[in-house]
Amino acid sequence: MSALDPSQVVAARARIAPHVLRTPLASSHTLSAMTGADVRLKCENLQKTGSFKARGALHRILGLSAAERRRGVLAASAGNHAQGVAYAAAIAGVKATVVMPTSAAIAKVEATRGYGADIVLAGADYAAAFRHAGELARRSRATLVHAFDDDEIIAGQGTVGLEILEDLPDVDVIVVPVGGGGLAAGIAAAVADAPARVIGVQAELASTLQPSLRAGRRVHARPGPTIADGLATPWRMMRGELLRAVTVGEAEIAAAILLLLERATLVVEGAAATTLAACLGPLRRLIAGRKVAVVLSGGNIDVNVLDRILNLGLAEQGRVFRFATVVTDRPGSLAALAAVIGEAGANIKHIQHDRGRLGVGVLETMVTVELETRGSGHVPGIIGRLRAAGYRILREDR
């Protein structure tokens, strides 16, 4: 692959502009204070289809010849690329068939179908779905639209970089999630003539980028299960364009998702949150005092995953407090415990009353309680009231 020219990204923009959102580059007082940089969020989670993928797919599909359009397009994806291709095909009036692995979330399948694509469920994982799409393409002569390994796709994704430069011409650093690498390569091409540095981020569990840059060749990895699942895909070479790459851990990604949700009212998926996580972690010194564009690449997070992240985050902030205590096993003793908790201003989420437990007396019952609190500053007061009322706190977990 030869690096793209900024002019190719400009041309892509002319083609796709009527059909994509020019997403906001939002400043954030809170996130700037937390990172010590002037942080701007490039909100591609608000893009059509919920991710930047619509840009590349539109550029590719709107560029098809009349004959190619008649034969339709094919793609394999479990998520954002599926929706991007389905949306772009609908705009272009082209028939789209999307192969999704059988494990794909029903919500994502329905969202893709909602744009008018035919859905084929095949293969246990992405690789198998991709092979199936290749076979279908050979038979039907439809055009297979690759998720990132395609110059037209990369030029389309690069329009994100053009918009950042227009809104913030003196941007110092652009932080981009790296999955296939199409977004990072495209942005690097778009800003090639500007002094801005482009820094790639991956989830530790899906990291192929750092080893590859270090080895000077493409290193494959079998990624573990990561929240940032959009990043758990092979890597596209971009040495020379991308100057640095960092990785972030799962807890940091979860914390960044919660932070964007609470303090920026934005829903982002794991891959998108890696960039903010990097600004709060490994990039902190590099970005200090600089103007930083943080690319939030998409917002299509599974609600089950988001629910787990909220619970982790609430526990981390002391807003869920779990403890065990022992009450005497007679009528009214649970009511008395609940009354003390209520007076302390906490809400009971779960309570478990467990008689006949080892280490607890015959006439006693172990009670495990999970509380909603107003924050970690609230917890010592709750503990104080419980102790003052004579309860032993056997285990605590905040």
Q: Could you say whether residue 30 binds a copy of itself (CB under 8 A)?
A: yes
Strand 395-397 to 320-328 pairing:
antiparallel
Complex with a copy of itself: residue 7 or 376, whichever CB lies closer: 376
The residue within the footprint of a copy of itself, chosen from 69, 244, 284, 374 (CB under 8 A), is 374
CA 177 – CA 285 distance, rounded (Å): 19
243 φ, ψ to 5°?
A: -90, -25
Output the six-digit token pair for 347. Answer: 């809400």
Question: What residues between 272 and 301 interact with a copy of itself by CB under 8 A?
Answer: 298-300
| Minimum distance of a copy of itself from residue 165's CB (angstroms) | 20
Largest CA distance in the chain: 82
Q: Could you say whether residue 313 binds a copy of itself (CB under 8 A)?
A: yes
Catalytic annotation present for 108: no
CA 233 – CA 162 distance, rounded (Å): 25
3-state secondary structure of 156: helix
Output the six-digit token pair for 309. Answer: 């992240």
By CB under 8 A, which span of 141-149, 169-177, 264-272, 383-391 interacts with a copy of itself?
Answer: 264-272
68 half-sphere exposure, CB direction, 13 A CA radius: 14
| Residues 133/99, Cβ–Cβ less than 8 Å | yes
The residue within the footprint of a copy of itself, chosen from 9, 31, 100, 111 (CB under 8 A), is 111
Question: What residues between 133 and 192 interact with a copy of itself by CB under 8 A?
Answer: none
Q: Could you say whether residue 46 binds a copy of itself (CB under 8 A)?
A: yes
Q: Could you say whether residue 263 binds a copy of itself (CB under 8 A)?
A: yes
How many positions of this chain bind a copy of itself (CB under 8 A)?
49
CA 361 – CA 355 distance, rounded (Å): 9
Stated length of the chain:
398
Question: What residues between 227 and 246 interact with a copy of itself by CB under 8 A?
Answer: none
By CB under 8 A, which span of 98-106, 137-145, 156-164, 183-191 interacts with a copy of itself?
Answer: 98-106
Q: Could you say whether residue 105 binds a copy of itself (CB under 8 A)?
A: yes
Q: Which residues contact 205 (CB under 8 A, 6 or more apart)?
A: 223, 224, 225, 226, 228, 232, 250
| Residues 85/145, Cβ–Cβ less than 8 Å | yes
| Minimum distance of a copy of itself from residue 362's CB (angstroms) | 16
Q: Could you say whether residue 21 binds a copy of itself (CB under 8 A)?
A: yes
| Minimum distance of a copy of itself from residue 124's CB (angstroms) | 10
| Minimum distance of a copy of itself from residue 34's CB (angstroms) | 10
3-state secondary structure of 149: coil
CA 187 – CA 173 distance, rounded (Å): 12
79 closest CA partner among 52, 58, 39: 52
Q: Determine which one of 51, 77, 207, 297 is catalytic.
A: 297
Catalytic annotation present for 291: no
By CB under 8 A, which span of 5-13, 20-28, 93-101, 387-395 interacts with a copy of itself?
Answer: 20-28
| Minimum distance of a copy of itself from residue 86's CB (angstroms) | 11
Output the six-digit token pair for 73. Answer: 């397009």
Q: Determine which one of 48, 53, 95, 108 is catalytic.
A: 53
Complex with a copy of itself: residue 123 or 313, whichever CB lies closer: 313
The residue within the footprint of a copy of itself, chosen from 314, 334, 338, 340 (CB under 8 A), is 314
Q: Could you say whether residue 106 binds a copy of itself (CB under 8 A)?
A: yes
The residue within the footprint of a copy of itself, chosen from 67, 265, 331, 363 (CB under 8 A), is 265
CA 70 – CA 344 distance, rounded (Å): 68
Q: Could you report how far apart the first and last alpha carbons of the chain are, in Å?
A: 51
Complex with a copy of itself: residue 105 or 219, whichever CB lies closer: 105
Dihedral Cα 217, 218, 220, 223, nearest 10 deg = 110
- Give contact residues for a copy of itself (rule: CB under 8 A): 21, 24, 26, 29-30, 33, 45-46, 48, 50, 87, 103-107, 110-111, 114-115, 258, 261-268, 298-300, 303-304, 306-307, 310-311, 313-314, 317, 319, 345, 372, 374-378
Residues acting as catalytic residues: 53, 297
